[in-house]
Every structure is written in C-alpha cells, then in structure tokens.
C-alpha cells in the first residue's frame, strides 16, 4: 500500500470512528428528549430489528455482545444474542453472591462479632486478655452510622463501661481464624492492590479495610498537606505531593508497597483545588482493626496494660471452651447490606458475604467453601452450574465467566420467589435515581423503570436486571460487552438505548 493510500485509509477510519461516536451520542440525546412521553407500538419482530441495528454498531465490530431479554409474564424472549456463550461478567457476578446470600442466610441475617475474655473481673479491672472473634462483619465502620468511624467501637466500649471495666490488665487479641488468611481474590491483578475496590477480606475488618486520605493545599506554608484516618502506628504515609499553579492540573497517585503498610501519595495538586479525598487499602486487616480498637479504648479512658495482637502473632493457645463471652455485636440485617453490594458495587462487602456463606454452611469462611455452597444452590433452583465459572464474590477477577442466559434465569427465579424478591429488587440501582446508574437514563421513560446491576473492568461492561415496558410488562435482561476497545461511554450508551427501547415498547 502506498503512502497516499495508507493516509486515505487512516482518514476514513478516523472519520468513521468519530462519526459512530457522534451518532451514538446524538441517538442517546434524542431519546432523552423524546422518550418521556413517546411510546412505540410495535411487534417483537420490530423490536428485534431495532436492537439488531443497535448491537451491530460499527464501533463494536471487534467486540462481543451477549444479550438475553425475556418477558417475566409469559417467558417470551424479546431478544437473544450469544446467549449461551461465556462472558466475563465483572460486577454482574454480585447478582449471584447477593441473591445467594438472601436465599441461604435470609434477609434478616446479621453478622456477629464476639467479645470474650480468658480472664476475670475484679472491681473495675479485667485481669486477662480481651479477645475479639470475627465472623466476617463488613460493617464495622461509619458506613451505617452517620460516618462515625468509632460508632461500633464506642458501642463496645459502652458495654465494657456498663460492666464496670475501666482497666484491662492483658492484651487485645484479634481472632480471624474463622476465615482463610488469603485476603485477595483468585486472579485479581497485582496492580489493584492499593485501590479500595481490592480491599482484603478478613474475619475481622475495620473501615472497609482502608484508610481515608485527605489532600489539601495550605497557603500558609505553600505546600500540600496529606492527612489520613484512622491514624495508626502501623501505617506509614509518605507525602510526595507538590503544589501546582492554578493553571495546571491536579494529578494524584496512591501506592501501597506490596506486603506492607507503607503508602506513598505522590503527584501534583492545584493550589485553588478543593480538598480531595482518596483511599488506600491496608495490609493485615486484623492487625489494623485491633490497633484501632486499642487506641479507642485508651481515648475513652480504659487503660490497657498489654498489647494488641493478631492471633497469628499471639503466643498462647486459645481454647474457646475456657473463655467467657462478655457480649456479642450484631450488624445491620443482610437486606441492608446487599444494598451496599449492589447499589454501590462494593467488592469488599461481596467478598465478606461469600466467605460468610462458606462459614455458616461449611464451618469455615473460604471463597472455595462459599462458591461450593452457591453452586449447590444454583443447581437446586434450576440453573446450570457448568455455565457459571465463579472464583470470587465480587466479579473483580477476569477468571469469572457466565452466560447471559444464566443471569436471566437467575433473575427469573428471584422474581418468582416472593420471600427474597422485594429485598433483592430494592438492592438494585435505579435508573436516573441512585446507585451506579443514578446518572444514566435521567429524564427518560427508563428512569424509575429500570433496576439493574452494572459491571465494569477493563474491556468489560455489563448491565443486568429488570425493566418495565410501556405496557408495564416486566422483563429480565442481561447485556454484556466483552473485548471492546472504545470509550466505556459508548458501551453505556448502547445499554441505555436498549433500556429506553424496552421502556418505550408497547405491544401492538
């Protein structure tokens, strides 16, 4: 190919690429304007032709779409494409974890944490160790308690004070032995490890096993200040952020050295920027939690004469038959926790739930046990476990695979199960209202008429859930894109266009 021919081909490609982006953007915009009051009376065949045109968009010619849309009234398929092919689901896998949790544990299930001692109380002094036995509660944070990071700890301390305990002549020991030590999921990329969405799971956890980092410019010193909470002795934070002129951009990178709690914050921060909050995961969540609790005990004037230990570093054997239970802490019910998993797509909560399923049903909290129990459940409710490759609870791993048909079959089963459907349905993001689709499909017929879980990892975008047509006919759908190499917004636009077609659709 000569130079002119090559240049001509390149120009054609560039023009076609940006034209396809423009067409999708304009199509989405026009639907936003017209779809609130406009309904399309048509046949299923007409709808299928429209959807084919959408999925055949040239921008996705090298990608794969997996789609199933099925009526929940009569089982009729509105549309199918690659419905029995394997796709990487990303966070759509949380649909299996969260619904499985509801079915196996119940909507009223509460995570528990036991506070015990191997000693005795005399007067205001506890002679012996205070032992915190974790069972996977992900909520020991401020998330459910008006962002009060110390709420749960203070509740525990209030219980100790009510018992008259003001001194502890012993250690604070964190027992995480009911969960496996492996905190990261199978197949998770090493470069995720600093990021909040890859927080390690553990039987004991605190603040989603992350620190909250605040970055702000200080005009008095002409420097950038970096603070973090909780500020603990086992966290080392290095501030390598420099102040940038107002016409420069803010660019921040957070990196935790593997296997340590040495965290470096680097980059540039524009002087006229508002303060910025970011996060880093921590290593050894149990140690993190126990040190934080001991600090809070001392802040509340309960003297501790010993140290804080992860049970793995504790040199004494614990026999639970010889311990006294002081009290038990219970989390919010599971129906509230799965809202965090599905509306917020919170990976850490999903991993905690998966291992808790294993703990409750197999006696030990491992991902393998949780997955084995879920596979048995899927078979019992009519799914095909062979078409569900599950290696974690959140969908962060690229090893996970599922067919779109299995997702829709799961959604159909949940819809038919009056025991869990209301709580599951209420946990899903609402188009144009909240969660991860709160800013999608606004002011359209899809707003409030689509409840769906998103999923995203590089080159993967998924959306699965429920929609209601212009006739109020309920449908279950799954739309998954794999192997695309265009901006994610284009995949979102196609998914949104399909949802708008569905919510505008009325049968002739």
| 424-466 tens-digit pLDDT | 999 999 999 999 999 999 999 999 999 999 999 999 999 999 9
Q: What is the mean pLDDT of residues 172-198?
A: 97
Q: Is residue 347 part of a domain?
A: yes
Q: Are residues 344 and 479 in the same domain?
A: yes
Give me the domain span that covers residue 46.
Answer: 34-105+337-507
Q: Is residue 356 part of a domain?
A: yes
Q: Are residues 235 and 277 in the same domain?
A: yes
CATH for 492:
3.40.710.10
- Convert the pLDDT of each residue in 460-490 to its tens digit: 999 999 999 999 999 999 999 999 999 999 9
Q: Which two tokens stand for residue 147?
A: 């962002």
- Convert the pLDDT of each residue in 247-267 to its tens digit: 999 999 999 999 999 999 999
Q: Is residue 82 part of a domain?
A: yes
Angle, nearest 10°, between helix axes 367-380 and 94-105? 80
- Convert the pLDDT of each residue in 342-388 to its tens digit: 999 999 999 999 999 999 999 999 999 999 999 999 999 999 999 99
Query: Considering all CA atoms of the chain, what is the largest pairwise distance in Å, rounded to the nearest integer?
Result: 93
Last residue of a domain, one of 281, 298, 322: 281
Confidence of residue 7 (pLDDT cuts 50, 70, 90): very low
**In angstroms, rounded to a whole number, what is the distance separating the alpha carbons of residues 67 and 92?**
13
Task: Identify the pLDDT of residue 392.
Answer: 99
Higher pLDDT, 54 or 27: 54
Q: Is residue 450 part of a domain?
A: yes
Q: Are residues 350 and 421 in the same domain?
A: yes
CB 475 within 8 A of CB 71: yes
Task: Identify the pLDDT of residue 317.
Answer: 85
Q: Are residues 300 and 383 in the same domain?
A: no
Q: Is residue 167 part of a domain?
A: yes
Last residue of a domain, one of 264, 281, 298: 281
Q: Is residue 311 part of a domain?
A: yes
Task: Identify the pLDDT of residue 34.
Answer: 41
**In angstroms, rounded to a whole number, what is the distance separating the alpha carbons of residues 491 and 60?**
9
Q: Are residues 452 and 396 in the same domain?
A: yes
How many Cα atoms within 13 Å fall on the side-chain side of residue 225? 11
Q: Are residues 204 and 229 in the same domain?
A: yes
- Convert the pLDDT of each residue in 13-36 to its tens digit: 344 444 444 444 444 434 443 444
Task: Identify the pLDDT of residue 316.
Answer: 86
Task: Identify the pLDDT of residue 16.
Answer: 42
Confidence of residue 198 (pLDDT cuts 50, 70, 90): very high
CATH for 315:
3.50.80.20
Q: Which two tokens stand for residue 370?
A: 């949780």
What average pLDDT is seen over the chain? 93
Q: Are residues 230 and 263 in the same domain?
A: yes
The model's pTM: 0.92
**Residue 215: DSSP 8-state:** E
Lowest mean pLDDT among 32-46, 187-201, 336-350, 492-506: 32-46
Q: Are residues 61 and 157 in the same domain?
A: no
**In angstroms, rounded to a whole number, what is the distance separating the alpha carbons of residues 492 and 455?**
11
**In angstroms, rounded to a whole number, what is the distance separating the alpha carbons of residues 460 and 183?**
24
Q: Are residues 412 and 481 in the same domain?
A: yes
Counting the structural domains of the chain, the total is 3
Q: Are residues 458 and 321 in the same domain?
A: no
Q: Is the pLDDT of residue 108 over 70?
A: yes
Confidence of residue 39 (pLDDT cuts 50, 70, 90): low
Q: Is residue 300 part of a domain?
A: yes
- Convert the pLDDT of each residue in 134-182 to its tens digit: 999 999 999 999 999 999 999 999 999 999 999 999 999 999 999 999 9
Q: Is residue 203 part of a domain?
A: yes
**In angstroms, rounded to a whole number, what is the distance separating the alpha carbons of residues 46 and 52?**
10
Last residue of a domain, one of 247, 264, 281: 281
Q: Are residues 455 and 483 in the same domain?
A: yes
Q: Are residues 300 and 311 in the same domain?
A: yes
């Amino acid at each position: 190919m000569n130079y002119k021919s090559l240049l001509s081909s390149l120009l054609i490609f560039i023009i076609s690429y940006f034209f396809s982006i423009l067409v999708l953007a304009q199509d989405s915009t026009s639907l936003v304007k017209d779809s609130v009051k406009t309904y399309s009376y048509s046949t299923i065949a007409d709808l299928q032709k429209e959807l084919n045109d959408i999925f055949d968009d040239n921008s996705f010619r090298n990608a794969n779409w997996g789609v199933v849309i099925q009526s929940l009234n009569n089982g009729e398929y509105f549309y199918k494409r690659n419905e029995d092919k394997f796709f990487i689901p990303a966070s759509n896998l949380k649909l299996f974890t969260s619904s499985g949790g509801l079915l196996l544990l119940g909507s009223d299930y509460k995570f528990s944490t036991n506070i015990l001692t191997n000693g005795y109380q005399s007067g205001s002094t506890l002679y012996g160790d205070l032992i915190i036995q974790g069972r996977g509660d992900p909520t020991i944070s401020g998330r459910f308690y008006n962002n009060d990071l110390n709420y749960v700890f203070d509740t525990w301390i209030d219980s100790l004070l009510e018992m008259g305990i003001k001194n502890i002549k012993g250690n604070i020991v964190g027992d995480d032995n009911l969960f496996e030590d492996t905190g990261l999921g199978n197949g998770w990329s090493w470069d995720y490890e600093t990021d909040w969405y890859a927080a390690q799971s553990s039987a004991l956890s605190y603040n989603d096993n992350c620190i909250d980092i605040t970055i702000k410019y200080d005009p008095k010193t002409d420097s950038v200040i970096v603070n973090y909470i909780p500020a603990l002795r086992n966290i080392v934070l290095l501030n390598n952020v420099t102040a940038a002129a107002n016409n420069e951009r803010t660019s921040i990178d957070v990196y935790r050295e593997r296997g340590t709690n040495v965290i470096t914050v680097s980059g540039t921060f524009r002087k006229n920027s508002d303060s910025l909050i970011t996060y880093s995961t921590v290593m050894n969540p149990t140690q993190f939690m126990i040190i934080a609790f001991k600090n809070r005990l001392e802040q509340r004037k309960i003297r501790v004469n010993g140290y804080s230990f992860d049970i793995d570093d504790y040199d004494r054997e614990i026999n639970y038959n010889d311990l006294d239970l002081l009290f038990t802490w219970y989390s919010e019910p599971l129906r509230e926790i799965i809202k965090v998993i599905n509306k917020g797509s919170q990976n850490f909560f999903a991993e905690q739930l998966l291992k808790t399923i294993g703990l409750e049903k197999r006696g030990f909290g491992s991902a393998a046990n949780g997955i084995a129990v879920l596979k048995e459940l899927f078979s019992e409710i009519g799914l095909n476990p062979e078409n569900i490759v599950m290696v974690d609870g959140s969908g962060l791993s690229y090893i996970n695979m599922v067919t779109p048909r299995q997702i829709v079959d799961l959604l159909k089963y949940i819809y038919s199960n009056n025991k869990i459907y209301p709580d599951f349905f209420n946990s899903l993001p609402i188009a144009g209202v909240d969660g991860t689709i709160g800013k999608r499909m606004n002011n359209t017929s899809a707003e409030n008429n689509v409840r769906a879980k998103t999923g995203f990892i590089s080159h993967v975008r998924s959306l699965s859930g429920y929609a209601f047509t212009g006739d109020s006919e309920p449908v279950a759908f799954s739309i998954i894109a794999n192997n695309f190499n265009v901006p994610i917004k284009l995949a979102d636009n196609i998914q949104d266009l399909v949802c708008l077609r569905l919510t505008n659709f009325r049968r002739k």
